[in-house]
A and B are shown apart, each in its own frame.
Chain A
Amino acid sequence: EVQLVESGGGLVQPGGSLRLSCVASGFTFSSYWMSWVRQAPGKGLEWVANIKEDGSEKYYVDSVKGRFTISRDNAKNSLYLQMNGLRAEDTAVYFCVRRGTNFDYWGQGTLVTVSS
């Protein structure tokens, strides 16, 4: 059974940093693109970033370029999102998602709240 479990969310002040983690199981992690998708409270889905199987290609939504970094450790079946320079508008539930395009499995999400 495919499982994606996120962690690392919480309350952070504007300008602060947070690192999200996602541990994958039930499939060959190193064979799939992986993505982060977020959803602000009461709002729609927003694609944030994705990363190729071997980490050699990474893409980001314009609003997080230069502030967020996606990475992965295939030996640990783990996906990460390093978030720096956080803003109030980054407040959202962040989902770890399998694949880069047809997002076929989703974690339950971790809530990030940016507030003073």
Chain B
Amino acid sequence: QSALTQPASVSGSPGQSITISCTGTSSDVGGYKYVSWYQQHPDKAPKLMIYEVSYRSSGVPDRFSGSKSGNTASLTISGLQAEDEADYYCSSHTSSNTRVFGTGTKVTVL
């Protein structure tokens, strides 16, 4: 049950696009459609942003999009805004019926 691999940090200027990767194996990310993404601001509970690879949760701006290729899932934020500065985590179902989170990525808006 190793954590999925995410870059520790990603940054961009307002209005730019950034992409966060989430790399697992064929036993988790690559094998299932149940990949989700969460946004967490400091001292707050996480918020579901994307579920089942590419579906936006209710109220999430369409600037956020998700995709998957092989064992790697990606979250793209287009038109980066100051309020997007936060930590982001991916999560996946696994072949042993457990769940696993990614290592987390800190997004900085320059």
- Which residues of A are at the interface with B, using a C-beta cutoff of 8 A? 35, 37, 44-47, 50, 59-62, 95, 100-104, 106-109
Are the C-beta atoms of A104 and B100 separated by less than 8 Å?
no
Minimum Cβ distance to chain A for residue B97 (Å): 5
Give Cα A107–Cα B46 distance, bound, in whole angstroms.
9
Are the C-beta atoms of B57 and A107 separated by less than 8 Å?
no
Give Cα A37–Cα B91 distance, bound, in whole angstroms.
12
Are the C-beta atoms of B36 and A44 separated by less than 8 Å?
no
Are the C-beta atoms of A106 and B45 separated by less than 8 Å?
yes
* Cβ contacts under 8 Å, B40 to chain A: 45
Q: Is B38 an interface residue (CB 8 A)?
A: yes
A-B contact pairs, 12 of them (CB 8 A): A44-B87, A44-B101, A45-B40, A47-B91, A47-B99, A61-B1, A95-B46, A102-B34, A102-B48, A102-B52, A103-B38, A108-B45
Q: Please name the residue on chain A nearest to B101 by beta carbon.
A: A45
Q: What total count of A-B pairs have CB within 8 Å?
A: 60
Give Cα A69–Cα B46 distance, bound, in whole angstroms.
23
Are the C-beta atoms of B1 and A103 separated by less than 8 Å?
no
Taking A35-B99, A61-B1, A61-B98 as known contacts, 14 extra A-B pairs with beta carbons closer than 8 A to each other, sorted by chain A number, are A44-B87, A44-B103, A46-B3, A47-B98, A59-B96, A59-B98, A59-B99, A95-B45, A101-B51, A102-B36, A102-B48, A102-B52, A103-B46, A103-B48
Are the C-beta atoms of B101 and A47 separated by less than 8 Å?
yes
Question: Interface residue tally of chain B, by bracket?
Answer: 20 to 34
Give Cα A45–Cα B34 distance, bound, in whole angstroms.
17
Q: Mark B77-110, 1 if CB is under 8 A from A, else 0.
A: 0000000000101010100111111111000000
Tell me whether A104 and B45 are in contact in the complex, defined as CB-CB below 8 angstroms, given that A45-B38, A61-B98 are known contacts. no
Q: Mark B47-62, 1 if CB is under 8 A from A, else 0.
A: 1100110000100000
Tell me whether A50 and B99 are in contact in the complex, defined as CB-CB below 8 angstroms, given that A102-B48, A104-B57, A108-B45 are known contacts. yes
Minimum Cβ distance to chain B for residue A103 (Å): 6
